Structure formats: structure tokens, C-alpha cells
Amino acid sequence: MTAALIGQPVSRVDGRRKVTGAATYAAEFEVPDLAHAAVVRSTIANGRVASIDSAAAEQAAGVLAVLTHRNAPRLVYREHKGVPDAATGERLHVLQDNRITHQGQPIAVVIADKLEQAVHAATMVRVTYAPEGAITDVTEVEPVLPADQSSPWEVRRGDPETVLGQAEVKIDQSYVIPRENHNPIEMHATVAAWDGDSLTLWDKTQWVHNTADEIAAVFGIPPENIRVVSPFVGGAFGSGLRCWPHVTLAALGARVAGRPVKLMLSRREMYYSVGFRPHTVQRVALGASRDGRLTAIVHEGHQETSTYEEFTEALLNATRFLHSCPNVYTRHRIAPMNMHTPTYMRAPGEASGIFALESAMDELAVALNVDPVELRLRNEPEQDEFQNLPFSSRSTRQCYKAAAERFGWSQRNPEPRSMRKGRLLIGWGMASATYGAGRAPASAKARLLPDGTAEVTSAASDMGPGTWTSMTQVAAETLGLPIERVSFTLGDTRLPRAAIHGGSITMASVGSAVQAACRQARDEVLQRGGANDLSEALAHIGQPVEATVQATPGDETKRFSMHAFGAVFVEVAVDPDLGETRVRRIVGAYGAGRIVNPKTARSQCIGGMIGGIGMALMEHSIVDPRNGRVANANFAEYAVPVHADAPPMMDVTFVDEHDPHVNPLGVKGLGEIALVGVAPAIANAVFHATGKRIRELPITPDKLL
């Protein structure tokens, strides 16, 4: 028998390939006769292209084609609404007419022999515009309820307004989070190669099958004609969930030029091409009794979206169940503006909504003179009061306790500005975290070979959490084989279709499929091979045995409210003269079900903590209201945390949690919850340090001086 592998801190099976450069990312695929694309982008935010002259560019050295709306082939743009697409509206059609809806919209693409030639020729395309008034400032838009009817945008229980009016203690504040952009180290890239009517795309994507489906719909060809290959993704945080217009441009360029084409976005282009976390404006009003019981919650928020699609995310959902409260009102609205469509960015909705809610809870704790942990414990619900369902499991109490103990919370003097280290103001703050434990259908194939090895495959993705590794562990343990005898492969549409690699559902969805396929293959081998030992039975059968299984969720979402929960505690030091905030320690405890690999799981969590430092203290895409330009679309001016910003102590605890309802593996997912709660815990710590409540992120020095 082999030892249990699920739960072991196995090192990344693809780690060596990554650190030696052997792992191939989208832009690195070598294709013979490769040409290069450069995109010409709109410099206005709304209006029309009045004229576009590509004659000079066409004459430039090495240029194979210049495509504009005047000469680009007409594309079919069949309807396709994949999971990550906006529910309402129509995606951007590239180079099909002269309409401009946003700054940075592609208006031409140049294909040339060499990248430098394409980039140079792109500067020679002459464009004039007929601009129209652009809406680029969220404060100038009257928000509206989304037209999409698939979600309730206004939810009420009890009589929150009346109860709020009569509350013994009341907090009523607004919270603002600016636009943030995904900044993975690997920029998006696509290599497109046609072979007759068949297309191969080497692409950075979190879902190969979705890219195939979308490009099939755009070009009007069967999805089976398209192969998408994406074995490694150098971070994405959600930017790779949708198939964006640059993939279409690469395929279009390759078709017209009659050669394979590589299109890689620059860092600057990333800010106009692959979505972003939308700017949100929220109001949270809390009513409570003197003894610290919530009596009413009103949480309203709106977020920016494009003029052509309604992007929405779960901004207010957690407010309906995180704390116990009989009277709750939430209203989610959108503000359509001249920008490209926002998208999901790590913990989409929850990260933003819970910043507001957990900041307000801290304000309430101060108003009540109650410890913030104690306030949450007093309002711990017995069940999901929105869905009226029991939680499949909820370990908030254990998380508060574990994190508070490891942090040393009992030593906290609640008085703001009371804790110091030398001239620095020290602040301790905390917040709760939650994220849904979702699951979607996924399939996997297990192929057992006579030599006692196994090849397990699924068209899943790994943008960093360690899918390669965790799936190998699940497969090897299920098969009872040593991990070295099992290979797992992902990232190719030729493999069985997987779920989207987002929303923290990969382990639950693909893991369940891998487990089921391995179990079926193993059972068949043992039955046919007439032996109790798998390797012996395989040798006996003498030929490969395969099983492909689709694993689908049951009716558990109808019976249980299923979420991961956590608690985040933070220590900051604020320089009273410079207004600079440094995070000194973060302690997080999570009830996230079974932890398949504590090593990669911890990695996820510290990644989320560092991301939370960015959200709290640094990240801000500054939009020029005159033209919708992102003024800091680069790494010099859009600050993200670097090693020097990561605190020396990032402490992660997974509380013991066995959830028999959530999925066969009992896992809840970690990618998103790791970010949730970090920004409010930091803001609450900054208040404790300075006595200043900052309700608009990021908390930059100017706000503290």
C-alpha cells in the first residue's frame, strides 16, 4: 500500500520545469514561419473613426497586412455566452465598423514579418476621429439596476429602514474602491495558426474550451476545428477567464496573412484589453442594540461597467449571510460608462463588498466599545438567514479563535494610537472572510498502462494554485500508486472538458472528476486482472485500461449553503510623519474543508495576503476623466506589492473541517478567500494605529497626513 497523498505537502510536480524555463508559456511556442501582430488602438473614448489611412503602413518593411474596419473580413459573431461572459449585452466586435466605445479599443492590426516591423508600421496608420462626449467618471453616472434577471439585485428581509431609524447605535458610511487591474507577470498572448479550416491557438487562458467555443462562434466554424493549448499560465487572477478580442485579432491576422501570427499584449495594453476590477461605491448602514446585536443592515453598491455589456459580480451577496441580522436590505446597481468591460478579479465581488462590510463592523465595534472579535461572535448566525438553509459547515468561531491566539490579540489595547514602537504607530485590526464553495461539471480520463503507470488528463488550467500537483496527488492516492508513477496533464482542448479555472472551483470540480475516473479505471483493472494489487493486475491484463468520467454536482446547493470562512488579523506600523503604512504581520485562519496540499494551499493564502496589501495600500488605476486613459498603465506607476512589501510574518492556519456535503473530496477552494478580508483588516489596523478611518482605498500617505 502507498501512503496517503491527499493532505501531504507535495512539492510542485512542475516546479523544476518552471524554474529552469522548460515550461512553455503562450508567447513562447515556436511555430515555423511565425509573423507578428501589433494593434492600433483608439485614442478617444467615444465616437467614430472618421478616416483611417493605412497606405504608408502597408508599404513599410516587412508588413504583410494591415486590417481595419474597412478591409477586415466580416466575422459571424454567433451568440456565445460562456460562464465568464457578461449575462446581458453583446461583446465587442473587432474591426467590423467604425464605432468606438472606449479608449484603447482596437481599430487596426498590423501583421509583419518581425515584431519590430509590426510595431513600427502600427505608428504609421493615420486616424482621424469624430469624437462624441464620453462618460468616464463614475460619479457622473446615475446607477441603474442591471437588466439581467438571473440574479436578485435588490433583496430585503424584515424592515431594515425602520429598524435602522430606531437603532440604539448606528453606523452609516460610504466606502470607495478604485479600479484595479490584473497584473500577472505573464502578459496575455496568443499564437494563432490555421491549417485550412482548422485553427490552433496557443493562448494564455483559464479555460481552453471556452476560448475554443468563443472563437468558433466568432468565426462561424465548429469548435471541434479549434485546438487551444495552454499548459502554463503565469498568473491571471481572472483576466484569463474570458476569451478577449485580442485572440480574435490574432486568428484574423493569421487568416489574412496566411501565416501563423503571434500577438502579445504589452503591459500598457493589458489595461485596455483583459478586464479589471471595477471601481465600486458602496454605502453600509448598520443598526445595533447597545449589547452589540445587529438589528439592521443596509448595503448598497454600484460598480462601473461598459456601455455594451453589463458586468456584475457578487458585491453584496456575503452581506446577506455573513452575520446574523433580522432586517437586511441590499441593492446592487451598475454605472455604464465608456470603458472596456470589467471582469472578475480575484474574489470578485466579495473582496470589494466585504471591505465595506467589515470596515463598517469595525466602526460599529468602536461605537459600541466592544472588541471586534466579540462583536462578530455575538452576531454569529446559526444558519444562512438569506437562503434559510443550514451551512454545510461553518468554522468561523474556530477561525477567530485560532487566528486570535496565534496573533496574540488578547494583548491589544483597544484605544487608537495607544500602541507604539519607537516613533511608529502600531495598529492591530481584523476582519472576517468568506467565499462560496462552488462546483461545476468536469471530466477527466485515467489511462492505466501495463507497466504500472498511469496517465491522467483533464483540460483544466493552472494559473498558479498548483493544479498540476494537486490533481497528481488525488490521482495517485485514488489509484494507490506511488506519485512518481502517475502523470497528470492539463491545458489542451484535446483532453476531456474541465470546468472553468476560476471562482475557486477547480479542486472541487476537476478533483472530483479525477477521483471518479481513477476509481473507475482502478475498479475495472482489479476486476479484469484478477488480482488485489493494481500493478500486478495491469501486468496481467497486458494492455492499457481507460476510463473517462464526467463528475457533476448533485442537489447539495438546494440543501446547504456552502462557503469557506476565515478570519484575518493584521499588524501595521504607520509612520506619523510620513503617513507611510507598512504591514508587519498577517495571521489568517481558514475553514476551507479538506486541504489537499498544505504547501501549495499556504502558498495560495500568502499570495492572497500580499494581494490584499496591494488592494489596501497601493493598487489604483488612475483614469483620466477627459479621455478615459489609464494614466498609470505601467509597473512604474501602478504600484503592486514587491518582496520588500511582504511582511516577514504571514501565518496561515487551516482549521480542521470535515464537510461531507460539499463535494466528494470535501474541499472548498482557497484562491479567492485568501484575498477576502485582508484589505479591511489592514484598514481597521490603520484606524487602530492612527485614529483615522480611511474609507477610500488605497490607503496612501496623503490620506493619513
Residues that bind ligand MOS (CB under 6 A): 206, 237-238, 241, 344-346, 348, 502-503
Q: In terms of Cα–Cα distance, which of 96, 79, 270, 108 is closest to 181?
A: 270
The type of residue at 192 is: A
Cell numbers describing residue 604:
495560495
Residue 331 or 346 having the CB closest to ligand MOS: 346
For the bound state, the minimum distance from the C-beta of residue 440 to ligand MOS, rounded and expressed in Å, comes to: 12
Largest Cα span, the chain: 78
Residue 227 or 346 having the CB closest to ligand MOS: 346
Residue 502 or 553 having the CB closest to ligand MOS: 502
Exposed (0-12), middle (13-18) or buried (19+): which is 428, by Cβ within 10 Å? Answer: buried
| The pairing of beta strand 454-457 with beta strand 189-195 | unpaired
Distance CA 536, CA 642 (A): 51
Residue 501 or 688 having the CB closest to ligand MOS: 501
Stated as kind and residue range, the H or E segment containing 20 is helix 15-20
CB burial string 38-52: b at 16+ within 10 A, e below: bbbbbbbbbbbbeeb
Q: Which of 180, 310, 672, 696 is catalytic?
A: 672
The C-alpha angle with vertex 662 and arms to 298 and 515, in degrees rounded to 5, equals: 145
Alpha helices in 159-205 (DSSP H): 160-165
Distance CA 299, CA 320 (A): 9
Locate the DSSP E strands across 248-405.
Answer: 261-264, 280-288, 294-306, 309-310, 328-337
Stated as kind and residue range, the H or E segment containing 156 is strand 154-157
The type of residue at 93 is: H
| Placement of cell 490579540 in the chain | 409
Task: Tell me the three state secondary structure of residue 146.
Answer: coil
Cell numbers describing residue 207:
479555460
Residue 253 or 502 having the CB closest to ligand MOS: 502
DSSP class of 484: G
Alpha-carbon distances, residue 138 vs 337, 339, 447, 620 (angstroms): 8, 11, 53, 14
Residue 202 or 237 having the CB closest to ligand MOS: 237
Residue 348 or 427 having the CB closest to ligand MOS: 348
Per the annotation, the verdict on 186 as an active-site residue is: no
Residues noted as catalytic: 672
